[in-house]
């Protein structure tokens, strides 16, 4: 039977500490440095982001090609996934600006959905933290509008900045988790 109970924060922190072990601080510093580089050079960070995503898609596509071949599948439906993964990855490599613009649209969609969740979440929690959820929702709407209003050219800079800022925060969280005693 699958345990559907979400883990508590102490369990999550212990798992993170076990996973990274003595390399937590090193990983945190690398994330922060790369994040600062991304904020300072957002176009390069956007290009690196689309390159990594393209590589993941291509590796996934090749993996599915091998899988489909080993299963001796002959139907179009069996080959559709690997073809789409490979084609999407190839387009991102051939036209990185289009890939970055696509990532910008995905960010706009993400922040729109997150805003909706933040505006509706306090009702499910009985009003607990209502002001913070609304504040976060407003910030999400502003960010989504920023991506939409500047799309596609704005994505070249915005994607790099947001990925860089996210890496900085991830590094800071790792440092905080490293120093947390449970």
| pTM > 0.85: yes or no | no
**CA torsion angle for 137, 142, 146, 148 (degrees, to 10)?**
60
**14 occurs within a structural domain:** no
Into how many domains does the chain fold?
1
**5 occurs within a structural domain:** no
- Contacts with 112 (C-beta within 8 Å, 6 or more apart), sequence order: 140, 141, 144
Structure tokens at 71: 């299963």
**16 occurs within a structural domain:** no
Closest to 49 (Cα-Cα) out of 176, 179, 155, 178: 155
Higher pLDDT, 12 or 96: 96
* pLDDT number for residue 157: 95
**79 occurs within a structural domain:** yes
**156 occurs within a structural domain:** yes
**10 occurs within a structural domain:** no
**130 occurs within a structural domain:** yes
**141 occurs within a structural domain:** yes
Residue 72: Cβ-neighbour burial (10 angstroms; 0-12, 13-18, 19+) = exposed
Q: What is the mean pLDDT of the chain?
A: 87
pLDDT tens string 122-179 = 676 666 677 888 888 899 999 999 999 999 999 999 999 999 999 999 888 888 877 7
* pLDDT number for residue 54: 96
Q: Give the range of the structural domain holding residue 173, as residue numbers without chain letter.
A: 24-178
């Amino acid at each position: 039977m699958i345990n559907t109970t979400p883990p508590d924060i102490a369990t999550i922190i212990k798992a993170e500490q076990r996973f990274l072990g003595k390399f937590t601080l090193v990983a945190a510093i690398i994330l922060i440095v790369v994040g600062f580089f991304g904020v300072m050079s957002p176009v390069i960070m956007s290009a690196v982001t689309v390159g990594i995503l393209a590589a993941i898609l291509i590796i996934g596509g090749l993996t599915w090609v091998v899988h489909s071949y080993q299963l001796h599948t002959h139907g179009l439906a069996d080959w559709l996934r690997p073809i789409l993964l490979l084609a999407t990855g190839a387009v991102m490599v051939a036209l990185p600006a289009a890939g970055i613009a696509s990532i910008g649209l995905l960010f706009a969609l993400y922040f729109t959905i997150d805003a909706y969740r933040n505006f509706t979440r306090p009702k499910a929690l009985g009003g607990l933290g209502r002001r913070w959820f609304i504040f976060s929702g407003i910030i999400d709407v502003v960010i989504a509008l920023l991506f939409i209003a500047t799309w596609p050219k704005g994505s070249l800079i915005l994607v790099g900045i947001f990925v860089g800022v996210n890496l900085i925060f991830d590094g800071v969280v790792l440092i905080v988790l490293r120093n947390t005693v449970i």
